[in-house]
Amino acid sequence: MMPTLPLPAQRPVPEARPIPPRFTVKSKRPHSWLVTAVGLAMCLSGVVLVEPAPIDAAIMGLCGLAVLIGQLSFAGAHSLPAFLLVLFLFANVVSMADPIEKTRTIWYALVTAYLGASLFFFAGLLTRHGMPAVRVLMRGYAFAAIYSVALGLGGYFNLLPGRDILTLYNRPKGLFKDPNVFGPFLIPVAIYALMALQVAQKRWAKVAWAATFLVCTLGVFLSFSRACWLNFAVSLGIYALMFFWSSESGAQLSARLVAAATFGCVAGILVLALVSVPAVKSMLMIRLGAKGLQSYDTKRFQVHDEALESARRRPLGIGPGQSEIAFAYATHSTYLRVLTENGVVGALAFYALLGASLWRALRLARTARTKRWRSLGAVLLACIGGVLANSVVIDSIHWRHLWLLLGMSWAAHPNALPLPTPSFRYRTPRRAPIPQ
């Protein structure tokens, strides 16, 4: 009989650790006190009678504090807007070599630099805190829009004292400098309200956002700004396109068509009721008479020609904020203003920043991981597209909400990123051996 050999001692098998997923996304993340503070600061965004405005001081303070305590997050995707913004601001500095009025050009350049910094503040805030920050921020923005409409229309219909402050040229403006800023300020809230109405679960939330949309639509209509109406039409058109494009089934598409038709009828009835008011009817006849052209439009077109000639003679620019002094009239075109004041290099950098932000919003709307982020991307795409159309005939470079939209489009939160594309390695198939 063979002797039995002892078995070798077996090492204990270590307990297998669970392999963490490659991408971990928290569904609910409590927002910090900083997010609440930014939401409260956004409540001040409807007060821009002077520059710097109260919202500027609040955002600058919160931005500096957030950097010190590390409450902002950035990603590699932010290198492109950072490069374009630095190039644009550098062109601002170069164009200040020989300004007509030195004090104004320094002040104007500083405001532009602050707004560029706010872009990265909002991008870093949303990258770190995600959708809870979006909700808090937009609720503060919506509050500012609602009281702006209440003040503007209260002054316009003589329901509130201070008509001289709340209106301009017999048009409501709230606590803004101009009705042409008051109206466009309301459009992002109106489009966001449509999105929030779509995803809201509670009835009171649906009612609140539906009322917000109608109030903002009322303010946009009564701003009597032709460029603002174009802005709203473009924004609604883009959002409707993305809204129906994202429908997953025929039943969902039918429900969305019914909802859109209902809102269209309610808004149409509201507009018809307003047109019957004598003051509104008279102003509409003025704004839409002579094929929609006003007596001062000829001067605007003349300034456009002068701005193009100035850009040809001085390709480095005449300096930030110098258009009103050089032409004795505002440029009334953001694209021409940037080209004239900041030169060819500055204009190309600014145009590229706008185009990249628009593309980023489209990518967010189509490839984000969650439905809420895709819906937000559709809102940003619609609103940025509307502002770009508005900017053809209006100076919008110092619109606070424009830089807010640009910053939100660059949010790099994990839920806002596209799902990873699986990689497949091609293997050469083995051939059966050839029989000998």
- Among 127-131, 171-175, 272-276, the minimum mean pLDDT is found in 272-276
248 or 269, which is more confident: 269
Task: Give dist(CA 112, CA 110) in Å, integer.
Answer: 5
Backbone angles phi, psi at 287, to 5 degrees: -75, -30
Q: Predicted confidence band at 46 (pLDDT cuts at 50, 70, 90)?
A: very high
The string of pLDDT tens digits covering residues 83-95 is 999 999 999 999 9
Strand-pairing partners, residue 317, are none
Task: Give dist(CA 321, CA 144) in Å, integer.
Answer: 27
pLDDT at 436: 44
pLDDT at 423: 46
Q: Predicted confidence band at 275 (pLDDT cuts at 50, 70, 90)?
A: confident
Task: Give dist(CA 188, CA 338) in Å, integer.
Answer: 24
Instruction: Tally Cβ neighbours within 10 Å of residue 96.
Output: 22
pLDDT at 333: 92
- Among 112-126, 198-212, 312-326, 414-428, the minimum mean pLDDT is found in 414-428
Given the DSSP bridges, would you call strands 171-172 and 167-168 parallel, antiparallel or unpaired?
Answer: antiparallel
**Nearest CA-CA partner of 118 in 401, 426, 414, 374:** 401
Share of the chain above pLDDT 70, in %: 83
Backbone conformation region of residue 79, classed left if phi is above 0, alpha if psi is from -120 to 50, else beta: alpha
The string of pLDDT tens digits covering residues 47-68 is 999 888 999 999 999 999 999 9
Judged against a pLDDT cut of 60, whether residue 28 lies above it is answered with: no
Contacts of 49 (CB under 8 A, 6+ apart): 165, 175, 176, 177
Judged against a pLDDT cut of 70, whether residue 295 lies above it is answered with: no
Across the range 293-307, mean pLDDT stands at 79
pLDDT at 115: 96
Contacts of 89 (CB under 8 A, 6+ apart): 109, 112, 113, 116
Across the range 285-311, mean pLDDT stands at 77
Residues, the chain, total?
A: 436
Dihedral sign for Cα atoms in the order 390, 392, 394, 398: positive
388-389-391 Cα angle (round to 5):
65
Judged against a pLDDT cut of 80, whether residue 152 lies above it is answered with: yes
The string of pLDDT tens digits covering residues 364-380 is 999 999 989 999 999 99
pLDDT at 249: 54
Contacts of 313 (CB under 8 A, 6+ apart): none
Quote the mean pLDDT of the chain: 86
How many angstroms separate the Cα of 387 from the Cα of each of 223, 245, 320, 380, 390?
16, 22, 21, 10, 5
The string of pLDDT tens digits covering residues 165-203 is 999 988 999 999 999 999 999 999 999 999 998 888 888
Helix axes 400-409, 102-129, angle to 10 degrees: 40
Judged against a pLDDT cut of 70, whether residue 5 lies above it is answered with: no
28 or 293, which is more confident: 293
Q: Is the pTM of this model over 0.75?
A: yes
**Nearest CA-CA partner of 227 in 297, 170, 174, 276:** 297
Across the range 276-281, mean pLDDT stands at 74
Judged against a pLDDT cut of 60, whether residue 2 lies above it is answered with: no
Tokens found for residue 111: 């405001």
Helices and strands: H and E segment counts in the chain: 16, 4
